[in-house]
Chains A and B, each alone.
Chain A
Amino acid sequence: MKKRGKINQCELIIEAVEQLSKNTKKTKITLEKGENSERLNQAINNLKQKIKTSEEKIKKEVEHQTSTFLNISSHELRTPLTPMSAQLQMLLSGYFGKLSEKQEKSIEIILRNTKKLDKLIKDVLDISRLRAESMQVTFKKGKLNELIKTIINEKKTYAKEKKVRIIINLNKKIPDIVFDQGKLGQVITDVLDNAIKFTPEKGKVTISSTKKGTKQIITIQDTGIGIEKKDYQLIFEPFKQVNSEKNRNFEGTGLGLAIAKGIMKIHKGEIKIISTIDKGTTVQIILPNKLKETQQIDPLAR
């Protein structure tokens, strides 16, 4: 009898350790009742809890360090661009004397590329944050239509320059939902920017917002050059741009949509594309309505 008791205890310990090493979501282990099984049960569960706490602590620490590194990198990389850009603008505006036409053209090229570099740095940092899963978001309840209207306003001049008409069709019945104003704004701006960019003169871009069940959908439809079905997934990849005759003259960092996809994922939403070559492209930005608000981080405490 005693011998049997001892074997049972060994088996008990083995089973407990096996359960502990399995990566299951269960936080409690239950062993068969027997001699000392209560104590073992307790000990193993304590150990499991300690491991979980430790893992969470490490994860948070890594996230924090990555985030700090990326914030500092952002600041450091963009700091030299500030005096570069300002001095070039001052040169062009005659602060240091009149320029010849050739000098002007030269400085314009440099200034244009300074702006490109700035956008590129910003985009690369965004992608890095998304990849490291350390993009900070502030989820707050807000009015989607207000955000859309603000962005349309910002893009009015660009659309006018390109002779593209913007048509607005926002559903007033859309409820206030929770989202990150800055990040979602970035997505909508980027999609709208693309729509205007790839639509020829006299074309139109239609922006609408609707509610469908538990989802809010922002649709941006253009009458532009379109995207081939085989390229639908490609355009969401970092630095990949469609390699076609039509696309050759259009510039961009090649990261906008990759970032948009990442931001929508954080919002537990999606971004979808349907397109027809030479007829146009329709982009749908889909948001759920059940996100929870998060605490705001103090932006001045850096």
Chain B
Amino acid sequence: MEAKKIMVVDDNKDIVTTVKTLLESKGYTVNTANNGEQFLQLIGEVQPRLVLLDVMMPGLTTREILQKLKDEGYEKTKIILVTVIRFSKEEVEAIMKEFNVVDYITKPFDITDLNARVRQHTAGSN
């Protein structure tokens, strides 16, 4: 069975390496990007089923990235926002309604928690 593809997008290279190591050890195929532009350039080629997207990166804002994804027809790609900021319940619900954001994780995260959420949102066949 083909490994499930995930993209990890964060401007901090150590975070990207760490999450990549973590998820690859669980059998996923992981591609990475360091900012919004890079991510949008690669997504067509990679076609991940899930993206772990950092919220505060230089360059395009998160809203701009999510909007571009929507505009270019990637509404089905699931997004988990990874963020230092703690969102309120209403903020999360509003974001989830507007874009295909399925979950969010706060940094620093618990690795068991991250694994569980990734497993949950990549469940089932493509």
Instruction: Mark A residues whose CB is within 8 Å of B.
Output: 74-75, 78-87, 89-90, 93, 95, 114-115, 118, 138, 140, 181-182, 296, 298-302
Contacts and interface: CB of A to CB of B under 8 A. Distances in A.
Contacts of A138: 88, 90
Contact of B63 (A74, A79, A298): A298
Interface in B69-109: 84-91, 94-95, 107-109
A83 B14 contact: yes
B42 interface: no
Interface of B: 12, 14-15, 17-19, 21-22, 25, 55-56, 61-63, 66, 84-91, 94-95, 107-112
A86 B66 contact: no
Contacts of A84: 108
Contacts of B55: 299-300, 302
Nearest to A183: B88
Contacts of B12: 79, 82-83
Nearest to A93: B111
A82 B114 CA distance: 12
A141 B51 CA distance: 34
Given A75-B56, A83-B14, A86-B109, A299 B87 contact: yes
A115 B89 CA distance: 24
Nearest to A121: B84
B63 to A, nearest CB: 4
Nearest to A72: B56
B62 A86 contact: no
B89 A302 contact: no
Given A86-B15, A299-B91, 17 more contacts: A74-B85, A79-B107, A80-B14, A81-B108, A82-B107, A82-B108, A83-B14, A89-B111, A90-B18, A95-B21, A118-B108, A182-B88, A296-B94, A299-B55, A299-B87, A300-B62, A302-B61
Pick the 8 closest A-B CB pairs, nearest first: A85-B108, A300-B63, A83-B14, A300-B62, A82-B107, A83-B18, A82-B108, A89-B111
A125 to B, nearest CB: 10
Contact of A74 (B17, B18, B84, B90): B84
B109 A90 contact: no
A301 B107 CA distance: 18
A114 B108 contact: yes
B96 to A, nearest CB: 12
Contacts of B89: 181
Given A75-B84, A299-B87, A90 B108 contact: no
A79 B90 contact: no
A30 B22 CA distance: 73
19 contacts: A78-B108, A80-B14, A83-B12, A83-B17, A83-B18, A86-B109, A86-B111, A89-B110, A93-B111, A114-B108, A181-B90, A296-B91, A296-B94, A299-B87, A300-B63, A301-B63, A302-B56, A302-B61, A302-B62
A140 B90 contact: yes
B22 A95 contact: yes
